[in-house]
Structure 1
C-alpha cells in the first residue's frame, strides 16, 4: 500500500514548508491527487493555530466582525467578509474549528478580535492535557476514516511531532517515555493510511534558526520578528521558566532538546522515515 499520509517534520526553520511543497509538486507530476496542509491552515486533524469554539462563541465572533464592518471602509461586502471567515471554519460535532490566523481580513482593525478567539485554542495549556489529547485523538481517527474513502495523498506539515512535542515538552514537561506513549497512541489512529515521516535534520541548529530569523524579519516595527516571537513563547513555557531559557540562546537550547526528542521518537515509533540532512 502506498503512503496516504506524509508527515513533514523538523525544528523551526528547518525548511518544512519548502520541503512539503516540493513533495506535493513531485507527486502531482506523477499523476497523484495530493492535498497539503501547512501550519495554521484549516486542518482536518491538527489544532495548532485553530480556535475550538462553541456555536455561541462562533456566532458571537461573526457578529462582532459584522459590527466592525459597519464602521469600516467597506472595501468588501458584508457577505464577502462572512465568506472569508466561513472558508476557514470547520464544524465538527457540536463545535466550530476556526483557523483564525488565515482569515483574509480586508483591514487591520479586525485583528483586534483575534485575541478573543486565540484564547479559545486548545494549545499552549489553554485546555487540560486530557482535553488536548481527547480532541486530537478523535480528530485524527475521524480524518483517517474519511481519507480511506478516496485515493488522495495527504501531506501534513509539522502536525505530528512539532505541534505535539511543543505542547508536551513546553507546557507539560513530559518525559521521553510519556511523549512516546502519546505519539504512539496518536499515530495508531492513522496507521491504516500507512504514514511516512519525512524528517529534515540540521547539522547546526543555531545556524538553521538564525538563517530563518534573517529570512523572517517583520515587515515593520509594529510586529515582532519571528525569532523574538519564538523566544517569547519559549521563555513563557513551563519548561522555559524551569530552565531559565530566554532570548535567542533560549530558542537554541529549546530546539536542541526538541531535536534530541525527535530523534528518540523517530527511532521508536515504528514509522518509515526519510531523513533529509541539512547543512
Structure 2
C-alpha cells in the first residue's frame, strides 16, 4: 500500500476550496497525522510560484541598467536559475521589508511567472513540481502535504483564461503534472458547484469590490474571454463555464485517486462528514 503524501483541493473560485483545505488539515491532524497545508497565495509554496518574476540573463541586465540605483538590491535578491534569474519581488517587499518604488515593482511584475509566455510558464512550473516531488520522496518524514488550487486552477488560469491555448495544450499541462506526482500517491478532492452563476455571484457579494473588478477584468480582457468578446459578470461566468468543462475532462483522465465533493449548498457540517468518510 503506497503511502499518501499529497492531497489536492480543486474547484472553481468561490466553491469553498480554502474552507475545505482547512477542514482536511484539521481532520488529518485529528487522526494524528503530520500535515503541511499550503493555501492559495503562499509565498513559500514548494510547487508553485507566487509573486516571483523570471528574467533571462540579457533582460535582467537591461532591468539593472534601467534601474541602476537599485542594481545592488535587485542583484543581491535575485536567484540564478537556468539561463536566467528569479526575483521574489513580493517577498522582498512584504517579508524582507525592502523598499522598492512602485514603478520598479510594476516593471518586475510584467515578468511574473504568470505573466510571461505560456511555454516559459509551463517549463518553470513543471520543473518546480519535479523538484517538489523529488524532495518529498527523498525525505523520510511522513508528512501529508495539502495544496489548494495550484494543480488544476493555476495551469488553466494561465493556459485557458490568460493565453487561450488549445484544449490539448491545457490538458497536457495538467496531465503532465499528474504524472510527476504519481509516486506521491495523491488524492484529488474536486469541489463541485452545480450553479456556477450563483457561486460567482455569491463570491462577488462576499468579497471586496477590488477583488471582483480585478477578477472580471482578468477573465474578460485577455485570452479566451477577449477572443469570445465576453464582458462583465455574465462574460466571466461564461469563461468559468468553459473552465469547468475542461476541468471535468481533465478530472476524468487523471490517473490518481480522486473524489468529487458537491458543495452546492455550502453546508459545512455535511461537508465535514463527507470529508471524514473520504479521509478514513
TM-score relative to the length of structure 1: 0.78
- 1:53-81 Cα shifts (integer Å, max 9, x gaps): 67968x979x85999xxxxxxxxxxxxxx
Q: In structure 1, which of residues 176, 183, 186 is the aligned counterpart of residue 167 of structure 2? A: 176
Deviation at 1:237, TM superposition (A): 1.4
CA–CA separation in structure 2 for the residues paired with 1:152 and 1:99: 29
* Structure 2 match to 1:98: 88
User: CA–CA distance in 2 between the matches of 1:28 and 1:95?
Assistant: 38
Equivalent pairs, count: 251
Q: Is the 8 A contact 2:225 2:236 kept in 1?
A: no
Give the structure 2 partner of residue 44 of structure 1. 46
Cα shift readout 1:11-51 (whole Å, capped 9, x = no counterpart): 11111111111111111222222111112212111125433
1:201–1:276 CA contact under 8 A, matched in 2: yes
Whether 1:203 and 2:194 are equivalent positions in the alignment is: yes
Q: Residue in 2 aligned with 1:34?
A: 35
Moved more, 175-184 or 138-147: 175-184
Assess, with a 3 A threshold, how the Cα gap between structure 1 residues 54 and 34 changes in structure 2: closer, same or farther: farther
1:139 alignment partner in structure 2: 128
Q: Which runs of 5+ in 1 are unaligned?
A: 68-85, 219-224
- Could you say what the CA RMSD is over the residues aligned between the two structures, in angstroms? 3.1
| Compared CA separation, residues 106 and 137, structure 1 to 2 (3 A) | closer
Residue 242 of structure 2: aligned partner: 257
Distance of aligned partners of 1:226 and 1:107 in 2 relative to their CA distance in 1, 3 Å threshold: farther
TM-score with structure 2 setting the length: 0.77
1:77 maps to none
Cα deviation, residue 254, structure 1 = 0.7
Please identify, of 45-54 and 263-272, the stretch whose mean Cα deviation from structure 2 is larger. Answer: 45-54
Are 2:22 and 1:21 aligned? yes
1:266 corresponding residue in structure 2: 251
C-alpha distance in 2 between matches for 1:264 and 1:232? 26
Decide whether the 8 Å contact of 1:202 with 1:278 is kept in 2. yes
The 2-side partners of 1:41 and 1:65 are apart by 27
The question of whether the paired residues in 2 share the 8 Å contact of 1:40 and 1:99 is answered with: no
Match of 2:267 in 1: none
What whole-Å deviation, never above 9, does each CA across 1:165-200 have from its counterpart, x for those lacking one?
111112332333332222221221111111111111
Q: Structure 2 stretches of 5 or more lacking a match?
A: 265-280
